[in-house]
Structure 1
Amino acid sequence: MTVEEDPKKLKLYSYWRSSCSTRVRIALNLKGLSFDYVAVNMAKGDQLTAEYLKLNPLGYVPVLVDGDTVVFDSFAILMYLDDKYPQHPLLPHDLQKKAINYQVANIVSSRIQPLQNQPMLNFVEGKVGLDEKLAWAQYHIGKGFAALEKLLKDHAGRYATGDEVFLADIFLAAQIHPAIKKFNVDMTQFPLLLRLYAAYNEIQSFQNAMPGKQPDTPPSSTS
Structure 2
Amino acid sequence: MSKPILYSAWTSSCSSRVRIALALKKIDYEYHTVDIKTEEEMREFAMTNPAKKIPILKINGLVLTESLAIIEYLDEVYPDPPLLPKDAGERAHARAIAFHIASNIQPLQNKAIIHKLNEKVPGYGAEVMDQRRHLPWLRSPGRASEDVLWEYCVGDQITIADLNLPSIVYNATDKYNVDITPYPLICKINKTLSEIPEFQASEPARQPDAPKKI
- Normalization by structure 2: what TM-score? 0.91
In the alignment, what sits opposite 1:28? 22
Identity of aligned residues (%): 35
The alpha carbon displacement at 1:140 in A equals 2.3
* SS in structure 1 at match of 2:176: coil
In the alignment, what sits opposite 2:200? 207
1:198 corresponds, among 184, 191, 194, to: 191
| Aligned-CA RMSD value | 1.8
Identify if the C-alpha distance between structure 1 residues 132 and 175 changes in structure 2 by more than 3 Å, giving closer, same or farther. Answer: closer
Moved more, 30-39 or 138-147: 138-147
1:12/1:38 contact within 8 Å kept: yes
Extract unaligned runs of 5+ from structure 2. Answer: none
In the alignment, what sits opposite 2:5? 11
2:153/2:189 contact within 8 Å kept: yes
Query: Does residue 153 of structure 2 align to residue 160 of structure 1?
Result: yes
Q: Deviations over 1:174-223 (max 9, x none)?
A: 211211111111111211101111101110100110110000001249xx
* SS in structure 1 at match of 2:101: helix
Cα distance between partner residues in 2 of 1:100 and 1:193: 16
Query: Does residue 131 of structure 2 align to residue 135 of structure 1?
Result: yes
* SS in structure 1 at match of 2:46: helix
Equivalenced residue count is 210
* SS in structure 2 at match of 1:189: coil
Cα distance between partner residues in 1 of 2:93 and 2:46: 34
Moved more, 36-45 or 137-146: 137-146
In the alignment, what sits opposite 2:181? 188
In the alignment, what sits opposite 1:37? 31
2:5/2:57 contact within 8 Å kept: yes
Moved more, 160-169 or 138-147: 138-147
Extract unaligned runs of 5+ from structure 1. Answer: 1-6
- Normalization by structure 1: what TM-score? 0.88
The alpha carbon displacement at 1:64 in A equals 0.2
1:104/1:168 contact within 8 Å kept: yes
1:28-107 pair list within 5 angstroms:
28-45=22-39, 48-50=42-44, 52-107=45-100
Partner letter of residue 135 of structure 1? Q
